Amino acid sequence: MKIALSQIAPIFLNRLETTKKIVAQIRDASLEGCRLLAFGETLLPGYPFWLSHTGGAQFNDSDQKSMYSYYLQESVSIDSGDLESICQAAMSGGIAVVLGIVERADDRGGHSVYCSRVFIDQNGQILSVHRKLMPTFEERLVWTQGDGHGLVTHPVGPFSVGALNCWENWMPLARSALYAAGEDLHVALWPGSVGLTKDITRFVAMESRSYVLSASALLRREDLPEDLPILEKLPDQSIFFNGGSCIAGPDGRWLVEPVVDREELIVADLDPSKVYEERQNFDPMGHYSRPEIFSLSVDRRRPKAIHWRDENDFGHESTLS
């Protein structure tokens, strides 16, 4: 099966223009005959990289407040249709898409955001939205903790595809949940650093005996808008994220070594028989597991902050959520 990784830079904190760029990549990948296309973590509309450079933990700081407001306004509301053109492009190209977004959570009041992974199938349907379980370090200053609702896999051709965001890929139990769901093609979404992808990609491939695709983004100074509130406070450097997208086979060997410092549509052919060959001597949730000794419980319910109880027109109580 032919797959692709899209290593591109966002039009930073511009949801509409970044969406156009994503749609163009979906079209190009479908013309290549790809069945699956993956993008980096929170590509739409961008990763909150400014926190590391502007004292993000300063309480009640006007710069952090203005950036959060900017971020919130350009984030993605799925219920409002912000992904419709991307879903349409997936349907038109007959290609499944794994996309990292900053999700504005309408089910939690609409003013908090999550680092989310969206899976769109080849019919343009959103099958799952996984919210990052634990934002990493300064990310917690802008992203809300997620849940287990999206710890699922989806069929794409002969493969069962699962995906995690960034450092979630270091969480053994999160990986195990996807392995148990039959995953044999793992997508790891990253903001964009070869330092993040070069070791773990091969490690997860060897542990899971699966193909592992690490999808990263770029971020260059030229991608930043001129009206960004803290632009003059950022360091004078030409590139903030250098990519590092790569692909490892189920034996842990490179199919595509990390690509750095450039935008590129990375295309590769995956052979499912290679997974079966490597599972012959090690299957982490099959013949090499010991379920009578080790077991894992996963709660995939999506938590709600409030449960409404209202009376309907007939005077009977009804439960709405």
Distance (Å, rounded) from C-alpha 276 to C-alpha 280? Answer: 7
277: annotated active-site residue: no
Contact 300, 149 (CB under 8 A): yes
Query: What is the DSSP code (8-state) at residue 124?
Result: S
Distance (Å, rounded) from C-alpha 101 to C-alpha 143? Answer: 12
Distance (Å, rounded) from C-alpha 99 to C-alpha 41? Answer: 7
- 159-165 and 36-38 as β-strands: parallel, antiparallel, unpaired? unpaired
Residue 184 phi, psi dihedral angles, 5° rounding: -135, 5
Could you tell me the sign of the dihedral formed by the alpha carbons of 69, 73, 77, 80, in that order?
positive
166: annotated active-site residue: yes
87: annotated active-site residue: no
* 252 dihedral zone (left: phi>0; alpha: psi -120 to 50; beta): left
Contact 123, 274 (CB under 8 A): no
Q: Which 3 state secondary structure label does DSSP give 51?
A: helix
Q: Residue 125 to residues 83, 217, 254: CA-CA distances in angstroms?
A: 10, 24, 32
- Total residue length of the chain: 321
- Which one is catalytic: 87, 166, 183, 207? 166
- Which one is catalytic: 132, 139, 168, 207? 132
- Which one is catalytic: 41, 168, 183, 207? 41
Distance (Å, rounded) from C-alpha 102 to C-alpha 44? Answer: 6
Residues marked as catalytic: 41, 132, 166
